Structure 1
Amino acid sequence: MSFNLHPVINNGISKGDPSFSGGSLHCHCKASPVTISLTSNISHNHACGCSKCWKPSGAIFSIVGVVPRGSLSVTSGNEKLFVVDSTAVIRRHACKECKVHLFGRIEQEHAFYGLDFVHVELSEEKGWQEVQFAAFVSSTIEQGLVAAEEADLVRGQIKKLGLETYDALSPGLMDAIAVFTAKKNGVLRESKL
């Protein structure tokens, strides 16, 4: 059994170019698309199974990476953008017409404040960092995208692509959240290494 994970990864992972320096993202509107300019490559590019991220029709994962907030600018169509859920930690900005999410931004104190979340599949340029892991795999069950009995088949398909699967974020990103929380609580321990 094969699942439509996402069109970007269904047939394998394309390696990115470490020296790639950015490009443009466009919503799906044919006339007057929203355009976003990124002046850097992305980091932490991953397949995300959460219920909040935008996914192409039929896909069970989104593909999302991050850029420093200062690397992103809206270059056209700003008036077409709306915030999907203003109560969410990541405020996803989508096109009012085609509903495609262009970027997500954190506006509150958070470990990932200063990073914007983007979907570089919306770019025509090649060289973006490749997908590096899959996050929130079990969330595909709670959305009704896969049956509980199929979750391990999904994980197996992802692992055949050479990616690790997590039911949260990757260990490095989870550590970043933990460091942020420990600092905030005044309990961050210094390493003895």
Structure 2
Amino acid sequence: MRISTLLLGVSLLAVAGCGSEFNRETGADNTEQFGNATMNNVLIQSGQKDYAIQLAGRFANEVPSTITFAFNSSQLDGSAIATLRQQADWIKTFPEVRFRVYGHTDLVGSNAANQALGLRRAKAVVAYFASQGISRSRLEAMASYGETRPVVQTPGPEERNRRTVTEVSGFVQNHPSVLNGKYAAVIHREYIELAQRAHPSNRVIKTQTSGN
């Protein structure tokens, strides 16, 4: 009798443990930038998260995502503007997509000063995008300490650490394509257009014939 009772108790504990596991939301341990577990579920089930990741990969592969700054400065130089112009052209191609700009510093100075400087750099990039006709509602400036994500581990001044990084962060929720769930169309739209264009080498060469 005691053995049966003990086995029953163990079984109930096992079922309770399984129940708590099965009742957990998908992505309950999610710590990514897309938000809490419930939001993560919605993004996964709608396919939005997967498509956002695809677009993020395309952006990183097709345009330079990083610019650098002079020491203790948030001013955009000629090289930075040239890169941001490429980013802006890409961003304007995808009006359904939102972007974040992360500002970084090198390891010189205090955390508070570097956080403020990183944010000024990110805001400078957002301001440039706005000057190119991109809605600020699609853009977000984020600050990041130089001490937390340096490209080069050095306590001294380092240009590669003094940077901003532009990334795809998601979709514009009130855009018609997004409301209709046409994420795949957003991803593949440009590819389809490229496939339909005539290749520059496919030219028709006209030859003149002499009349008799």
TM-score if structure 2 supplies the norm length? 0.25
Per residue, is there more strand in 1 or in 2?
Answer: 1
The structure in which a higher percent of residues are helix is 2
Larger radius of gyration: 2
